[in-house]
Amino acid sequence: MKYQRGEVVLVNYPFASGAGSKVRPAVIVQCDRNNARLDHTIVAQITSRTRLAQSEPTQLLIQVASPAGQQAGLLVDSAISCENLYTVEQQSIRKRLGSLPDDVMQRVDDCLKSSLGLE
């Protein structure tokens, strides 16, 4: 199954130390052209630790009660952590939870630009 940019999925996300991993939500940030032609995709981690999302330009708060939170299929208020990217094989994605609307993905783009120094 091919996935699309903006979809929120469950993946087995590795710890930065390389010692272990955790199943967690992530948002697909790779462009659809590459999602269609490649077997892997790039995702940004979604975490329930939202404290830094208030002040970090690399993170975006998604409140579960908001329309975007409902559409994303998240269970708790969460932060999209654009400084924590991972390339995953599409076949290893466990489940699709939902998707983010275009206006929220534009804000994710801003966080990615900040994280990658593209501003």
Nearest alpha carbon to residue 90 among 26, 1, 13, 30: 1
**What are the boundaries of each domain within the chain?**
7-116
> CA–CA separation, 82 vs 5, rounded Å?
14
Find where tokens 């330009």 sit: 57
Phi, psi of 85 (to 5 degrees): -100, 155
Query: Three-state DSSP class for 110?
Result: helix
- Say what the pLDDT of residue 42 is: 98
Per-residue confidence in pLDDT tens, the chain, 119 aa: 789 999 999 999 887 777 888 899 999 999 999 999 999 999 999 999 999 998 999 999 999 999 999 999 999 999 999 999 999 999 999 999 999 999 999 999 999 999 999 97
- Say what the pLDDT of residue 21 is: 83
User: Which fold, 7-116?
Assistant: SH3 type barrels. (2.30.30)
- Say what the pLDDT of residue 18 is: 75
pTM of the full structure: 0.93
